[in-house]
Amino acid sequence: MSKHRTARTSTGRGGRFALVVLVLAVLCGLVAAYLVYRKPSAEPRPVPAAPAREESVVVEDFSEAGLPDGWKAVEGDWKVEDGRLVGVPDGDGRPNRIVFGRHLTDFRLETTVRFAEVGGPGGAAPWVALGLDVPASGTAPWAAGLLRGGATPGFLEFARRTPGREAWDVTDKSVLPAVVGTDRDVRLAVEVRGTRARWFFDGREALRTTRVSRTADGGQALLVDGARVSFDDVRVAKVTENALLRPPGSPMAVIGHRGASSAAPENTLMSDEVARRGGAEWIENDVQPSKDGVPYVLHDPEVDRTTDGTGLIRSLTAAEVDALDAGSWFGPAYAGARVPTLAAQLDDLRKRGGNMLLEIKGRHSRAEVARIVEEVRDHGMADRVVVQSFDTEALKHTRELAPELPLGLLRAKLDPDPVAVARELGLSAYNPLATELLARPDVVKDLHAAGVAVMVWTVDDATHWSALEPLGTDGVITNRPAELSGWNAGRLHSPR
């Protein structure tokens, strides 16, 4: 009995022991599972999904007989044959065209093109064009991207056609990367972002413009002359991503630092013109107010280094700044250049083309920032200006006062988490010192995944351009914009 009791007693202790072991095992399992599946705090935050790049508006493969709904032939003979749209010139000297689509500010128009027969009535030179902003009536004004083929080597152009003028005003031109000839399909695309556009030939950017003339309601079109041309797979997509991100197939954006400051006196309209002619699509500047609150374009706090005057710009009246010579220090040929007001620089860019990377230089009050954004709005340049600063307060003021203006943050040191900073400030661009970015190249991928562009400063040599380009860097702020444009062009014409 005692034995039995003992045995019973022994069995009871063993059961409790087993229960304790079981509970401990379950607890250990739960702890282990937690340790395995939890995200360690040191692990980087997950990269969010990239925002959608585009939204289709027209997708047409000409699989049905007859012209698609909404397509209207204006000039020439247009028909669907063997699953392609065929445009046949009528030889009357006016561009043959078919209109379709709808008005879009930011979009991509692409199609496959084949020159079938070159020559025909009227003996016009063969060309094809993608109409970028063409009224539904098909009457001028138009903006278009032209491919002049049939010749060797041929050209790409951006051009406009104005009412009453039977000719193209060509704003930008480049040599075709390859001979098109006849009976060969080439994939052509133009991506338009407001007044900016990029021409893509077989997936690679071949030409840019900052001077697309826009209307309030023009849609898309295809145009031909001097050749029977067929088209397939026409697509129009509204591009919704951040316009500062570099599209696939595009080289890095060229941003002239203080204009073209290696070749002309910095932060002058002469410097801007040299940069523009050298291929800069953006002009970087530095903005600070005079004593009486007029925003001027000047880098240093004092006028001494870059003018014939002396003293802090904040201690000089607008009349005193206007009297300074900002060119002689650079070279006698530039004597008489002025320190431009921000208003004058905006006006110049609006008339001559180009975009502004406007740096609010140094600490600014909210009222001073308000004056800057007022100038941008008054000059109708809100869609062609990005505001950047080292000063986060200036960016916060800008965001409150002008939420339509994209913002860039300048950094001499990378933040531990640039994506978090970009989100907090509502940035479109995070703009670090190039050497900082090269030390942490993954930052580009993280920022891109969050929809934020990366524009580095200030890089003047091809060795660094070569290192920055494959990282996905969107733009380079450089004192040598013409050289960077040439470097970009050289890569376009090199083998893939």
Q: Which candidate, 238, 196, 236, 190, places its Cα nearest to that of 213?
A: 196
Contact of residue 458 among ligand G3P, Ca ion, none (CB under 5-8 Å per partner type) = ligand G3P
CA quadruple 112, 114, 120, 123: dihedral sign? positive
- When the beta carbons of 235 and 314 are compared against Ca ion, the nearer one is 314
Q: How far is CA 381 from CA 105, 211, 234, 346, in A?
A: 15, 13, 32, 7
Q: Which two tokens stand for residue 359?
A: 């740096």
- When the beta carbons of 230 and 398 are compared against Ca ion, the nearer one is 398
CA 296 to chain centre: 26
Contact of residue 383 among Ca ion, ligand G3P, none (CB under 5-8 Å per partner type) = none
**192 contact partners, CB below 8 Å, separation of at least 6:** 104, 105, 106, 107, 108, 109, 132, 133, 212
Interface characters, 348-387, with ligand G3P (x: CB under 6 A)? -----------x----------------------------
Least separation, in Å, of the C-beta of 299 and Ca ion? 6
Give yes or no for residue 477 binding ligand G3P (CB under 6 A): yes
- When the beta carbons of 150 and 340 are compared against ligand G3P, the nearer one is 340
- When the beta carbons of 286 and 375 are compared against ligand G3P, the nearer one is 286
- When the beta carbons of 178 and 433 are compared against ligand G3P, the nearer one is 433
Least separation, in Å, of the C-beta of 470 and ligand G3P? 22
What is the DSSP code (8-state) at residue 160? E
421, 45 Cβ separation under 8 angstroms: no
Give yes or no for residue 205 binding ligand G3P (CB under 6 A): no
- When the beta carbons of 112 and 458 are compared against Ca ion, the nearer one is 458
Catalog residues that contact Ca ion under the rule CB under 5 A: 286, 359
Interface characters, 436-475, with ligand G3P (x: CB under 6 A)? ---------------------xx-----------------
Positions 245 through 284 that interact with ligand G3P (CB under 6 A) = 257, 284
CA quadruple 416, 418, 423, 424: dihedral sign? positive
String of DSSP letters for 29-98 = HHHHHHHHHS--TTSPPPPPPPPP-EEEEEEE---SSSPPTT-EEEESEEEEETTEEEEE--SSSSPEEE
Residues engaged in binding ligand G3P (CB under 6 A): 257, 284, 286, 299, 359, 410, 457-458, 477
